[in-house]
Amino acid sequence: MENEELGYRKLIVFQKADDLAYQVYLISRTFPREEMFGLISQIRRCAVSVPANIVEGYGKRTDKEKRQFCYNARGSLNELEYYIDFSFKLKYINKEEHEKLKNLRDEVGRLLFRYIESLGK
């Protein structure tokens, strides 16, 4: 483990991905109870997977390994986009919540792209 004071916590991409996961958890509390083992579980799993993969990749030794975990995070982020849209379609979230989550998801996507690019090829 690196002896950096903040480690992965200093990465803006991690901070924004963590905020996205937190917002998804807060908003999904209002979903119907019957979705507890369906959509709630799925959307939360995807949301948490994004920062978790960034953290796991951060701890890897090579840029190639780090990139692979970032690609996994990007896949989860894409899956999350679908669940956000589907939740809106089902009227589990309102237009304002939908826009908030979509904008944050898009920001995380841009930051993740830049982070992957910074790791080289």
pLDDT digits (tens, 9 = 90+) for 13-67: 999 999 999 999 999 999 999 999 999 999 999 999 999 999 999 999 999 999 9
Segments making up each domain of the chain, as ranges = 7-118
pTM: 0.92
Please report where in the chains the tokens 């993969």 appear, as a residue.
Answer: 53
Give the rounded distance of the alpha carbon of 96 from its chain centre: 19
If you classify domain 7-118 with CATH, what class do you get?
A: mainly alpha
Count of beta carbons in the 10 Å neighbourhood of residue 80? 26
Q: What percent of the chain has pLDDT over 70?
A: 96
